[in-house]
Chains A and B, each alone.
Chain A
Amino acid sequence: MIRRGFQVAARLGHHGALPGGPYILPRFSPASAFGSSMDSLVSRFCQEKTDLKNYTLPNASWCPDMLNLYHEFLEKTKADGWIRLPSFKSNRNHIQGLKLPLALTVTSDKSDCRIFTRCIETEGQGYEYVIFFHPSKKKSVCLFQPGPDLEGTPRFAHRGSLAAMIDETFSKTAYLAGEGLFTLNLNITFKNLIRVGSLALLNVDVEKIEDQKLYISCVAQSADQQTVYTKASGTFLQLQLEEDSSQY
């Protein structure tokens, strides 16, 4: 969920101030790593009982491939351990009751902000996607259908939109699998372009977790798995959110 990266200036604490003043990052506490903590992370994240609009429900713009795979994975949520992640307009909505460590809050946070991948409201025009997460396997699958507003080369999705989708899927997976909060690195190799309106299937795996870093990889391919669109890897910094008793 939280994906802005910064280097382990955390360790040194004085690489010049972050906006908002000098800071020292809190140390990540290994004691609260995985296991039961992942269950609580997931349940807190996936608050299905909410007034907020959940963007991962099917709509009329979804192509047949997307609908078919969606229903296939929905079946898997019943018995195979998969979880469908909800998706709200702002990351704030996913972390109600939690907040960034104090040194990282900034005055530029406004209530009318939207997460980049949910900024286009009209169905089918921008990012249509849903992420399924498997806690024990530490993997995710993202069904992504780029709309015409994401066009770069005519009739194909802009590479930046795919990079954003990969980063977004990485972020949610890294957070739920091990409180990975900030992107440290993103490495994407583009192989083929994705046609606007078609489905891209992103398979994401957490490779390892060590030294306060989470290593994650992704292969994006067509629904029939005949075409590989991209291969990507990412590194995330683990950092815990703090309890927040105040209302947003």
Chain B
Amino acid sequence: MLRSCTAALRTLRALRGRREGASPAARDPVLARVSPGRGAAEVDRGVGLSVRNNPVIWRWFSTEKVIPKDHALPNPSWSKDLRLLFDQFMKKCEDGSWERLPSYKNSKLVKEQLSQAQLFTRGYEDGLGFEYVIFYNDDEKRTVCLFQGGPYLQGVPGFLHGGAIATMIDATVGMCAAIPGGIVMTANLNINFKRPIPLCSVVVINSQLDKIEGRKLFLSCNVRSVDEKILYSEATGLFIKLDPEKSLT
């Protein structure tokens, strides 16, 4: 989660840069990420040394060829429920109280910059696995994840696998912890399953920060149906702020 939270923070700063009227490069989360020298192998196709050593031109080249796909945007596999919810939350983003988190699949170019969930949860064809988007509210210290689980996430025939739900809870709660906490690691996740979630349905995962004690962050989370009438799961999470100098193991 070390690098993942660094990535989350970079995303945050990039988005804030956009809000505060920063330069175009800073405003675009993709442009803000790419730096000279990175991904040279990826775009080194007859690009001369002088180009690679020139930061401005290199940045232009890199973004022209290898803009990663943002998976946290609607695609044809998204159900009507998911699209409607997405639109509702995008409206909430207009006044700046909410922000949508972009979500990129792993690639050599952006390998060091990704949030933790991205490779594991973005490695499926559209609609087969995890379709989700996370919004966060900095003032209220909470995140909301709109999640549609596809047919490759099955547990009980016809229902979502408990591990798939645990993954999304971890992603949502983790993002909620990283925003105030910086570099954090999950210490504990405790999930109570109330009802099985039918495959291919849409659920809303709400997470909030309850309290901070020293390096410990206490969070809670619930998973509900779109109309909020069905409570599928409740969870609590304990995250620990890490010392960036320490190794992961």
Contacts and interface: CB of A to CB of B under 8 A. Distances in A.
Contact of B196 (A18, A113, A164, A190): A18
Nearest to B2: A153
B194 A116 contact: no
B25 interface: no
B185 to A, nearest CB: 7
A215 B47 CA distance: 61
Interface stretch (B14-22, B70-78, B113-121): B113-121
A190 B3 CA distance: 17
A182 B193 contact: yes
Question: Does more than half of chain B's interface fall in helix, strand or loop, or is it mixed?
Answer: mixed
A5 B193 contact: yes
Interface stretch (A48-56, A128-136, A165-173, A206-214): A165-173
Interface in B190-245: 190-201, 229-230
Tell which of B129, B189, B199 has the most Cβ of chain A within 10 Å.
B189
Contact of B123 (A4, A120, A168, A184): A120
Interface string A81-100: 00000000011100100001
Nearest to B122: A149
A151 interface: yes
B161 A154 contact: no
Interface in A117-151: 117, 119-120, 148-151
Interface stretch (B59-67, B131-139, B150-158): B150-158
A46 interface: no
Contacts of A21: none
Interface of B: 1-4, 106, 111-112, 114, 116-117, 119-121, 123-124, 128-129, 151-164, 166-168, 170-171, 185-201, 229-230, 248-249
Given A116-B154, A193-B248, 4 more contacts: A3-B156, A91-B155, A160-B164, A167-B163
